[in-house]
Amino acid sequence: MYMNFWYPVAACSEVTNEAPLTVRILSLDFVAFRDSAGNPHVLSDTCIHRGGSLGQGKVRGDCVQCPYHGWQFSGEGRCVLIPTLGADETPPARAKVDSYPVQEQYGILFAFLGDLPASERPPIFEIPEYTAADWRANKLKVFEVDYHYERSIENALDPAHNEFVHPKQGTPGMLLDFRKNPIQMDPIGEWGSGFLIPFTQKTPEGGLLAQANSWSTEVVRAGSGHFGPNAVVTWLKFTKENMFHQYFYEAPIDENRTRIFFVNMRHFLMDPAMDDRIVNINMEIAQEDINLLVRLNPVRTPETMTREVLMPADRPTVRYREFLKDWEKRGWRLDMKKMREMRGDVAMAIPCPARRTEKNWVLDEVPRVGR
């Protein structure tokens, strides 16, 4: 798992000024709440007084109040009230928790879990067609799965599994030309890569693709791409008119569980009455992947390529892993083994951007590989 990327925290509608929300991401707890102006905030969940979970507390005005001794923390993470202090005393400078940059996009509250200054941060994976009049976005679907998020991303990047895992959907098989050769991965900005290739189309017995008017097309274009470690898109282009784009923004809860925020875009079947039906069909397809991915061994992808036998069609997965290696070299990969050893003895936090400019932080920074 990697810091210094944007992670989906919750659906915007789940984050309120009525009660704080505790969310586990990257094996750590965070608290999300809105202030009196409606602005969302995401802080490290551990109170630096004596370890209370801020998410179990209350929202008070613009602050979250710890459930244990009532210390109040602003959206910037600063403790602004300690009930046992006199009215003329102010909380010490050390009384602060990490506060993370946030953005609301596509109905999702994202937090930047890392310490990079704004100018160096990778952006949120953009959905360029989100507001286009000829595209329709389904209502956000959030679901959880029992596997490591990298297995999920690699599955979405895998063109060779469709005809075996999703045969009911009449899902396409790879063309002969593409079977032997490594799939070319094109960059998606600075932080991702993807492919779009022609597939042969089998006649469906029903299912999602049967909805397309142009079903008789022999070849469809499809592909996928990742952006950062935890966002992925699948493009299905039956014709120039009939297209689906499926975006997954993934939050690793821990090494065995992942929360997926699914935004489905479509360029046909625009009737809002089709929304539920389309989501249901998509979730049926997702369930076919889930049934398979929960049984993969080992849970996360192996550390070295020698532990698998990879073929040219696995090139998208290999390319994704090259990006992960690069981010590891930058010191962004969490050392999960050390974290497991420390857990229970030491409270940890992902360092927030303020740690670059201020001293006096109470919680340990998470251990990272190679640092």
Q: Which residues bind ligand FES (CB under 6 A)?
A: 47, 49-52, 66, 68-69, 71
Residue with tokens 């060779």: 160
CB 65 to ligand FES: min, Å: 8
Out of Fe ion, ligand FES, none, what residue 30 binds, judged by CB under 5 to 8 A for its kind, is none
Q: How far apart are CA 69 and CA 162, in angstroms?
A: 54
How many residues belong to the site for Fe ion (CB under 5 A)? Answer: 1
Out of ligand FES, Fe ion, none, what residue 15 binds, judged by CB under 5 to 8 A for its kind, is none
Give backbone dihedrals phi and psi of 277, rounded to 5 degrees, phi first.
-60, -40
154 binds Fe ion (CB under 5 A): no
Question: For Fe ion, which is the closer residue by CB, 81 or 296?
Answer: 296
Out of ligand FES, Fe ion, none, what residue 289 binds, judged by CB under 5 to 8 A for its kind, is Fe ion
Question: For ligand FES, which is the closer residue by CB, 52 or 316?
Answer: 52
Q: How long is the chain?
A: 371
Q: Which of 220, 289, 320, 324 binds Fe ion (CB under 5 A)?
A: 289
CB 28 to ligand FES: min, Å: 17
The crossing angle, in degrees rounded to 10, of helices 149-156 and 275-293 is: 110
Q: How far apart are CA 349 and CA 357, in angstroms?
A: 17
Nearest CA-CA partner of 5 in 298, 354, 251: 251
Out of ligand FES, Fe ion, none, what residue 71 binds, judged by CB under 5 to 8 A for its kind, is ligand FES
Question: For ligand FES, which is the closer residue by CB, 51 or 61?
Answer: 51
CB 189 to ligand FES: min, Å: 41
CA-atom Rg of the chain in angstroms: 22
Using CB under 5 A, which of the segments 35-43, 215-223, 282-290, 332-340 binds Fe ion? 282-290
Out of ligand FES, Fe ion, none, what residue 49 binds, judged by CB under 5 to 8 A for its kind, is ligand FES
CB 232 to Fe ion: min, Å: 11
Question: For ligand FES, which is the closer residue by CB, 52 or 170?
Answer: 52
Structure tokens at 111: 């937090």
Q: Does a cis peptide bond (omega within 30 degrees of 0) precede residue 159?
A: no
DSSP category for residue 206: S
Out of ligand FES, Fe ion, none, what residue 26 binds, judged by CB under 5 to 8 A for its kind, is none
CA dihedral 66, 43, 89, 86 (to 10 degrees): -10
Three-state DSSP state, 261 = strand
Distance of CA 177 to the CA centre of its chain: 33
CB 26 to Fe ion: min, Å: 25
DSSP category for residue 322: H
